[in-house]
Amino acid sequence: MSKKLLVSNFFGFLFLTLIMLFSFSMKAIAMTPTLSLAGTGDGDSVQITVTGDPNSSVILFYTKSGAGQQMPPIGTTNTSGTLTTTISTSQYGVAAGSSVYVTTGGLTGPQSATMVWPAVASMLSASNMLSLSQTGLVLTLGQSTTVTATNLNSSSLYLASNFNPQIANFSISGSQITVTGNSYGSTTGSFCLIGNTANCGSIYVIVQNSTATPLTFSQSSVTLSSGQTVAIQISGGSGIYSVLNNSSQNSGVVTTSISGSTINLTTTSTTGSSSITVCSTSMTSCGIINVTIGNASYSAVSFSQSAPTVSVAQSLNVSIFGPTSSLFYVASNSNPSIVQANLSGSVLTLLGIANGSSVISVCVSSSNCASLTVTVNSNSSNGGNLTLSQDTVNLSTGQNASITISGGTMPYNIPSSSSNVVQSSLNNNILTLNALSAGTAMINVCSASGNCATLSVTVSTAGISLPADCYSVVGFSPITGQSCGSVAVTPPQVPTLPSDCLGTTQYSVSTGALCSNYVAPAAVATPAPATVAVSNTPTTAPTTNSAPLQSSVFSFKFTTTLKLGSKGTAVSQLQKKLKTLGFYTGKIDGGFGVTTEKAVKTFQKAHKLPQVGDVGPKTRALLNK
């Protein structure tokens, strides 16, 4: 082989080697990819653009909340080294504000710079928004409290702004925000996730004097449903009330209006929450109402006062608020010996009985109730305990009873005596009860210095028969000695009228029983005259078929209340009957005048009834016998 040929071959080999080395080095030095991200208009998708080596696979590195790092391939660059694709944020589970990057040519290929995943709408839903345990605070000077942040989505929290930093200080440790009051006034702290200025929350803070009294509300935590309005009563402070902050004011979740001491909360939203800060004039007293939008199908029960105080022997009315046309009821009273709760419509009347406290629950349904705590204060100089001769009394309709009161300090009083079951009246230390209708009633008797005692009264129209001389107004049976007020009544067959119960005699000389408890015997063919001694004056008794209690006058039944000014047939019959019985001496004119009223009082006195002058249920019961 010639020398020229050898040289040619050598340079050819060297050139080929250089070509191969250059090609190898070109493959070994891969291009560093670039990454760009952009949210799209559908509120969920993010467009990814990658530039790098041509025809190279692209892998996305990101952190999925609760699952750790993810490395899915998202495509391959084209011959120009470009990849443009769109992925679903919710499907991939990429946390808004988290860091992501890509590699090309495999897991160990060149890596792009780190980018922040955009905050698209789907990731800012209620379940993924930054959430704060409190969005409104009322602090005193130097007081600190902690607020917890949730839904951080693997990101860190930072203080974006403090509107008035001299008022309060905010410090962050992980998910905990500590707020400290520095001086009097108000400020707002705004907090966001690092790399995501669209996902933020705020805390409104009021710092007030430590001697200020916080406002109280009939409800401090409220659940509203869409389209609902709830009225809440405000108490405390002085001057007028105003809303200083509504955390949902910008979103309009809850709207507010104040009229006097009532704040109305309204919503048209289906989800969300709000913290309403209410203050009295000059921010001297403030409080917060927390509102949650839910599926409440009714207005919650609330009170005009949630923690009322009442004195012993005094009463207090508390208004109840709730669903329109509701039928409220008292579900429980933890200590009825301390306070009595009487409900009439939407007004709860609280009567203090003894020193202490009780929790009273009022409901409109089994799942819609509210409670208030009642404190009763008493006077320590009360003259001793108040006692009654009986704690319980059983009466029949038409009966009366007398209860003796002792202890405490006179004069005694009945704070609340209105009842359709029993009528009560006081005369010094004697409590008189008149049974009106079947049912039960609690009667409270109090002394002038504050001590009270409670009497339980049961009125019945059925039960065991009373002795004949226990019917009507007799306190004890002359025959058996039994208390007439301790037995339920079934009107018995009244025995025959004794012969010495004729005319106007009130009591039988032979038996000692009240004459009005008896009826005249049936007429006989041949009556026998009889002479009896009445009040030591001999009297010849008429025959039984002429007994005055069976005259036409006594067959009339009185069914309505008659009083001064009444007119008509019933008044004429009343005058006739009272005249026959010896109580009335005026004209039978059908007009209820002063003379008739005086006769009624005399009749009532003779039968130990309260001398009111009106013909009421008790008086009618006697006249109809």
Could you list the beta-strand ranges (E) of 218-346.
221-224, 229-235, 241-246, 255-259, 262-266, 273-280, 286-293, 302-303, 309-311, 315-321, 329-333, 339-344
Q: What 3-state class would DSSP assign to 372?
A: strand
Which carries the bigger pLDDT value, residue 610 or residue 494? Answer: 610
- Average pLDDT in the 323-352 region? 83
Residue 115 CA to residue 575 CA, distance in Å, equals 107
Q: What is the largest CA-CA distance in the chain?
A: 188
Highest mean pLDDT out of 29-38, 165-174, 237-246, 409-418: 165-174
Asked if 37 contacts 118 with a C-beta cutoff of 8 angstroms, the reply is: yes
Phi, psi for residue 267 in degrees, rounded to 5: -140, 150
Nearest to 541 by CA among 596, 604, 498, 594: 498
Look at the block and give the residue holding tokens 């899915």. Answer: 72
Residue-averaged pLDDT of the chain: 76
Q: What 3-state class would DSSP assign to 403?
A: strand
- Average pLDDT in the 419-442 region? 85
Asked if 182 contacts 169 with a C-beta cutoff of 8 angstroms, the reply is: yes
In terms of DSSP bridges, do strands 196-208 and 136-140 run parallel, antiparallel, or are they unpaired? parallel
Look at the block and give the residue holding tokens 């009714």. Answer: 298
Q: What 3-state class would DSSP assign to 268?
A: coil
Q: What 3-state class would DSSP assign to 551?
A: coil
What pTM value is reported for the model?
0.37
Residue 597 CA to residue 605 CA, distance in Å, equals 12
Side chain identity at 503, as an amino acid letter?
G
The rounded radius of gyration (Å) of the Cα atoms in the chain is 46
Residues in the chain: 625
Residue 410 CA to residue 429 CA, distance in Å, equals 8
pLDDT tens-digit series, residues 362-382? 887 656 788 899 988 765 444
Question: At 547, is the pLDDT very low, low, confident or very high (cuts 50, 70, 90)?
Answer: very low
Q: Which two tokens stand for residue 363?
A: 């409901």
User: Which range (96-105, 526-535, 574-583) has the least confidence?
Assistant: 526-535
